[in-house]
Amino acid sequence: MGNTAGETFERLSAYTVWRVLEESAQRVPDKVAVVDGDRRLTYAEVRAESEKLAGALASLGFGKASIAAVYLPNSIEQVLVFYALQKLGTAIAWVNPNYRESELRFILENSGAQSLFLFQEWGGFDGLSAAVGLDGLPDLKHIVVAKPGDGFASADARVTTLSNVIESGAAPESPGGGGAVRGETSGQAVSPDDLSMLIYTSGTTAQPKGAMIRQSQVVRAGFAYSLGVDATEDDVFIGFLPMSHSYGCGALLVQPFILGATLVLLDRFSPEAALALTEQEKVTIQYAAPAHYIMELGCSTRGNYDISSLRAGMTAGQLAPAGLITRVEQEMGIYISSFLGSSEVGPGLSIILPYGTSLEVRERAIGYAIHGTEAKIVSPTTGEEMPHGEPGELVLSGWHVTEGYWRNPEETQNQIRDGWLHTGDLASRDEEGCFSILGRLKDCVNRGGFKVIPSEIESLLMEYPGIAEVCVVGTPNPVLGESVCACVVAAEDAGDVTLQKIREHLQGRLAAFKLPDELLVMPELPRMPGGVKVNRYSAGGVVELATASTEKQTITRAAKATKED
């Protein structure tokens, strides 16, 4: 697709998502494209099944003017539904399969989706009953059950099954050539500039927002991941990240199909299941969050599995704890690095380190802006660009940035100003133009007027023996405004982790005002649905738990605390 990454990005700007699948099916028709348990589909079969489904959905009125909510776990059904809808130009409103009634309702209402695709039951939750029980959704005309249970039946006239849709549908038209694909209903070509999907933000501090992503953005975003792992058609990807999430969608649902590689699906992560599947399918690339790598490193049965095929991966969703990348490379033999992505540049990324970057750089930095885009560090208050090495807000501009949030012009104007996306990430840039992420601006703790960056403390605490994970947050303090609270997960063989001991560990390495005032030892850190991001602020998150805990170790401070420090 071109001799350089820049040439490939330029070429893919004329692609639709369907064209990606179509070209790979023509080039490697008999190669296994996707593995889901005992089921295997070749590229020719994925194309044929998706095309058949597209024709059937077209007979129900699906087309470029439609929006479909996809509420499916990682599965062959999700792959087929995704490519069928993309062929038609029907925009997808992604719904994390871990979401429940309130989150599902919000996305259905906000997107105005006319259809919903789901499993009847998954993960012990009856999604179909939840969906049909939601009232006040006049736009929702079709509820398509992709995997019905035994004896399936529904009295709701909107409900049907995926197999019934396919059996009753019309035969699909032949796809068009070039960069556009013929729409099944209206006869209008699906263009690279057409809306492909709405990726909803996690909504940790406010209502979720649906970032609008175009067809060619999806394709180029998927390709961008390959730069960090040197991925080719010979690779086998393990897919346990939710493919409804920006990271999982681009890295797993799009990237392997661009390359003509193989995707092996896992709908729910456990370290044992991932390691076993890696051995069984000779997986070569693993995309994950830091928590996944931490659990694999701590898995007592890891030595029972042959994971020598696993050569590379990436990590995102939260800052990688200090030393994690080194441990994964040394103990698991996997080359990994971090990158920066978000819903607003989804389903891809904005900044990445090229494959082959030294371990020292991968431990401290996330890389450079991808081809055709720009990134800079500005003052959060004045907007002026900051000197090299100085922290500030990361802002982005380029083809990867969403044009805005669906049905939310106020937030669009607030986040995208003068063509620059204000990410809310606290970052710095060195003299070579390499970026490092320090955390989120909203994560900074304001302790007596001093701003404390949690990641600075977290990286040093990860050097303390016996700490497996750490999250530093601010908790209410009547004198100082906020206290610095270190919430830690102790390793299995850890001794007694105390506030006094960790303060001694940090003494002389940090300014006194940055030393934790409180310590909460937790069995695990709460996470957002899907298990990728630590839940800091939402209900049941770290801040709420730390604020309410009566088990915190604390240092009592009076009004003179600031003077003493």
For the chain, the domains span: 17-27+37-190, 445-564
pLDDT of 479 above 60? yes
Sequence letter at residue 482: E
Q: What pLDDT sits at residue 556? A: 65
Which carries the bigger pLDDT value, residue 150 or residue 141? Answer: 141
pLDDT of 183 above 60? no
C-alpha to C-alpha distance for 219 and 214, rounded to whole angstroms: 9
- Whether CATH 3.30.300.30 fits 445-564: yes
The structure tokens 């700490």 sit at 467
Which of 234-238, 441-445, 509-513 tops mean pLDDT?
Answer: 234-238
Q: Are 344 and 359 in contact (CB under 8 A)?
A: no
What token pair was written down for 272? 């044992």
**DSSP conformation letters of 39-100:** EEEEHHHHHHHHHHHHHHHHHTT-STT-EEEEE--SSHHHHHHHHHHHHHTPEEEE--TT--
Q: Report, as an integer, the average pLDDT of 114-143.
A: 96
Return the H-helix or E-strand segment holding 219: helix 215-224
| Domain 17-27+37-190: top CATH class | alpha beta
Question: Mind spelling out the 3-state secondary structure of 37-55?
Answer: CCEEEEHHHHHHHHHHHHH
In 3D space, the residue among 266, 249, 261, 231 whose CA is nearest the CA of residue 86 turns out to be 249
pLDDT in tens, 492-530: 777 789 999 999 999 989 988 999 999 999 999 998 886
Q: Quick one: pLDDT band at residue 204, thresholds 50, 70, 90?
A: low
Q: Report, as an integer, the average pLDDT of 115-123.
A: 97
Q: Report, as an integer, the average pLDDT of 416-426.
A: 95
Neighbours of 326 (CB within 10 A): 14
pLDDT of 223 above 60? yes
- Cα maximum dimension of the chain: 78
| Average confidence score pLDDT of the chain | 92
Q: Quick one: pLDDT band at residue 306, thresholds 50, 70, 90?
A: very high
Q: Quick one: pLDDT band at residue 171, thresholds 50, 70, 90?
A: very low
The dihedral through the CA atoms of 489, 492, 493, 495 has a sign that is positive
pLDDT of 287 above 90? yes
Q: Report, as an integer, the average pLDDT of 185-205.
A: 82
In 3D space, the residue among 393, 375, 396 whose CA is nearest the CA of residue 384 turns out to be 393
Secondary structure letter of residue 250 according to DSSP? I
Bridge partner list, 40:
35
What token pair was written down for 350? 């904005």
Q: What pLDDT sits at residue 2? A: 41
pTM: 0.86
Q: What pLDDT sits at residue 532? A: 73
Q: Are 75 and 146 in contact (CB under 8 A)?
A: yes
